[in-house]
Amino acid sequence: MRLVVLVSGAGTNLQALLDATADPAYGAEVVAVGADREGIEGLARAERAGLPTFVRRVQDYPTRDDWDRALAEAVGAHGPDLVVSAGFMKLVSEQFLGQFPMVNTHPALLPSFAGMHGARDALEHGVKITGATLFLVDGGVDTGPILAQVAVPVDDDDTEESLHERIKVGERGMLVETVGRMARQGWSVEGRRVRIG
Ligand code: GRF
């Protein structure tokens, strides 16, 4: 399965995928990495792995729709079977999603704490268990059918940073395991329920 991975930051989830795909038995390969900004470690990781990269910045286009079309064109040029949003901090349109299936990883147990600050919002709410969710992206914000979740305990002394780092450990494992299963076994969706295999 051909993966195009989209990133906006450190790219540790991307790195976990790159490490996993080094084994042909994994069933998927990363064919390109895209970003919405320059100068991020996620792109540097892709370059070190010898992968093609592309950047499409919202501010370089007259409208958000123009940006979305340009992003879809850049993604489409690599013929992906699946687009993986791995810390990509932008929403894409229904038109984009009509062209490629896309998964996104979120640092909270959806439907709780959707949005930009999943770890911080869970900590401030005082939950004792949070985690990460991998889901199929739909037209909403973190609303798509859920593929996998991992639970992570909240410690009394956690800061947003310490909690997010602990979540990210579980998140990377969940992403790698689930994308691999999707590649090897396929998936089907019935209503909100997703079955892999
Ligand atoms: C992840 O926790 C992701 O869920 C969130 O941002 C983080 C990205 O981390 N949206 P990285 O860039 O993969 O290290």
Q: Tens digit of pLDDT per residue, the chain (197 long)?
A: 999 999 999 999 999 999 999 999 999 999 999 999 999 999 999 999 999 999 999 999 999 999 999 999 999 999 999 999 999 999 999 999 999 999 999 999 999 999 999 999 999 999 999 999 999 999 999 999 999 999 999 999 999 999 999 999 999 999 999 999 999 999 999 999 999 99
Give the atom of ligand 1 at the shortest distance from the alpha carbon of 105: 4
| Ligand 1 neighbour 109 (Cβ under 6 A) | no
Q: Which residue is it, tokens 């062209």?
A: 99
Instruction: Say if CB 110 and CB 135 are below 8 A apart.
Output: yes
| Ligand 1 neighbour 110 (Cβ under 6 A) | no
DSSP string for residues in the chain: -EEEEEESS--HHHHHHHHHHTSGGG--EEEEEEESSSS-HHHHHHHHTT--EEE--GGGSSSHHHHHHHHHHHHHTT--SEEEESS------HHHHHHS-EEEEESS-TTTT-STTHHHHHHHHT-SEEEEEEEE--SSSS-SPEEEEEEEEPPTT--HHHHHHHHHHHHHHHHHHHHHHHHHH-EEEETTEEEE-
| Ligand 1 neighbour 13 (Cβ under 6 A) | yes
| Ligand 1 neighbour 170 (Cβ under 6 A) | no
CA distance 140 to 51: 30
Report how far ligand 1's centroid is from the alpha carbon of 161 (Å). Answer: 12
- Quick check: is 117 catalytic? no
Instruction: Say if CB 167 and CB 153 are below 8 A apart.
Output: no
Give the atom of ligand 1 at the shortest distance from the alpha carbon of 10: 12
| Ligand 1 neighbour 106 (Cβ under 6 A) | yes
Predicted confidence at residue 26, as pLDDT, reads 98
Catalytic residue among 78, 106, 117, 164: 106
CA distance 78 to 146: 26
Report how far ligand 1's centroid is from the alpha carbon of 7 (Å). Answer: 8
Report how far ligand 1's centroid is from the alpha carbon of 88 (Å). Answer: 8
